[in-house]
Chains A and B, each alone.
Chain A
Amino acid sequence: MASILVYAELNEGKVATTSLELMAKARELGDVYAVALGSGAKAAAAVLGKHGAKAVHVNEDAAFDDYIAEPATEALASLHEKEKPDLILFGFTSDSREVAGRLAARLGSGLISNASDVVAKDGGFVAKVPYFGGAKVASMKANGKPAIVLIRPKSFEVSEKGGSAEIKQLDVVLADGSKRAHITERVVEASEKVKLEEARVVISGGRGMGGPQNFPLLEDLASALGGAVGASRAVVDAGWVPYSMQVGQTGKSVRPGVYIAVGISGAMQHTVGMKTSKVIIAINKDAEAPIMKMADLGVVGDALKIVPALTAAVKAKKNG
């Protein structure tokens, strides 16, 4: 059986959803164990056990929370030395990316980034990587051992599988030399009511919304549906809304029950972040916009008229 190590990312002590998605995949590939670093690691181990980890290597040193990448790289390098996993899985998130990059350089092994799937093949691993703005999918074989693969969030469904993990203390000496890029302050700018990645309904606005002054129309619809508001990069770059709302290749990946694209043309860099949504509805003035070719329902019309009317209709239906 291949041995698979999942790097469990902790956010304020909680296992990131992306890491649980990786657990679901890892179980298909071999014997799974995980590593959790920083405060909350032990509690996280219990959660990881429920998701199929046989063992979880933990270390609760605060340095893992407070310094970028280097302490985690040290810990992983020493764990690799001991366990020699065949495959190490990371989420394709800012924090994991940096650790994976440093680790690959340290071990001199290859790495496959931005993958949407990974399968075992001929004793090794092949990852599927969307590229070329998402128009093509390449199958890439990792030639090194360990294979290191970074997987886009929302590529797999989270599922529990009972069980409990053995907790193993991972002892690692963190020299001062690895405590360098120091996080001295954390500032929260956007307090989302419903998290974009977890919402059942996502309503995203693009340049067709005409300006930031019209985004409250989307907020109204979102609150009527209990959903969250996202955006295209064009409007994030224009400063209409914060980056935290961006959906797509360089933003968030979402997979809601319903995705409503409002005034978004449907560039591949956008659709790569939402095309696995169960149902897609597009509202666009232009019947030829690329988004219309992938929507389950495309409505040709003026977003500024349709959205408020839709909000009213949703409210009426809920109350009636």
Chain B
Amino acid sequence: MKIVVTVKQVPDPNSNLTLEGDNTISREKEVVLDPGDECGVEEGLQLKEAHGGEVILLSMGPERAKDAIRKGLSMGADRGVLVTDAELVGADALLTARVLAAAIKQEGPDLVICATESYDGSTGMVPPMLAEMLGFPQLTFAKKVEVDGSTVKVHRQTADGYQVVEASTPALITVTAAIAEPRYASLKGIMAARSKEIKQVTTADLGVEKGEPAESIESVVDAETRKAGEVIEDDGNAVEKIVQVLAAAKVL
């Protein structure tokens, strides 16, 4: 089974985010493989271990996004593809999906694995757009994936439980953090990753025209904050005070 896992490099969730002058999220700080995509890589590896095949990591981003791919390779993926192009700076979801779809078509995989949403963009729009452009069914919010021959079955997280969803390959799935605990890269894995191929391609190589951006940022302001109210130490009267507030709000 040929599996493409999309991987994005994002600012480290454990460091403070900052914004550039053009309101894109600064990537100069520490950057990591998106924690959601790390789960995608893990799931891809587990499927490969169970069914054989190949796991290819695909990313769109600046050259340093190779580090994110390298991370996944050290976990055990086979090779990587990085689409990098000055034209793509600040790409929106539609352009990102067009670029990734073109790269995926060149590979012709049985399965594409994405995370439900990225840590920094969080729009969750790239996967359904990709599925449409590839002409694949989408099995989404998966917390469990099973493959049997050409049938993929997932448990799709819902508000109150899950749905069992089935489709035939080729298909695209999105995985939640509940899918699998990502493995640590072993020393051997890290060494092996150094010699694994990361193919670098441009939009021209993929035959993608940039086009007009589908949306543009007009302004960015600080979110409205609520004013702090009263802060009290619990000296024995706190419960009474809370009861008063509940009563004033007419919920008691």
Interfacial residues, chain A to chain B (CB-CB below 8 A): 68-70, 73, 94, 97-102, 104-106, 108-114, 126, 130-144, 180-192, 200-201, 225-227, 237, 243-244, 249-250, 252, 257-258, 275, 278-281, 287, 292-302, 305-306, 309-310, 313-314, 317-318
Contacts and interface: CB of A to CB of B under 8 A. Distances in A.
Nearest to B216: A141
B218 A181 contact: no
Given A201-B251, A310-B239, A101 B132 contact: yes
B171 interface: yes
B161 A189 contact: yes
10 contacts: A105-B94, A111-B125, A113-B125, A141-B218, A181-B166, A181-B171, A184-B165, A186-B163, A249-B122, A298-B231
Contacts of B233: 287, 300-301
Contact of A143 (B212, B220, B239, B243): B212
Contact of B242 (A135, A299, A300): A299
A301 B139 contact: no
Contacts of A70: 137
A68 B171 CA distance: 12
Interface stretch (B77-85, B200-208, B221-229): B221-229
B117 interface: yes
Given A189-B161, A299-B234, A301-B234, A68 B139 contact: yes
Contacts of A296: 229-230, 245
Contacts of B242: 281, 297, 299, 306, 310, 313
Contacts of B6: none
B151 to A, nearest CB: 10
B218 A140 contact: yes
B160 A191 contact: yes
A102 B131 contact: yes
The B interface is mostly helix, strand or loop, or mixed, namely mixed
A180 B135 CA distance: 11
A293 B251 CA distance: 23
A143 B218 contact: no
Given A97-B125, A101-B93, A102-B132, 19 more contacts: A94-B140, A100-B128, A101-B126, A137-B220, A138-B23, A139-B221, A140-B215, A141-B218, A143-B212, A181-B167, A181-B171, A183-B165, A186-B164, A189-B161, A250-B122, A293-B228, A297-B229, A310-B243, A313-B240
A187 B140 CA distance: 16
B150 interface: no
A135 B222 contact: yes
A306 B234 contact: yes
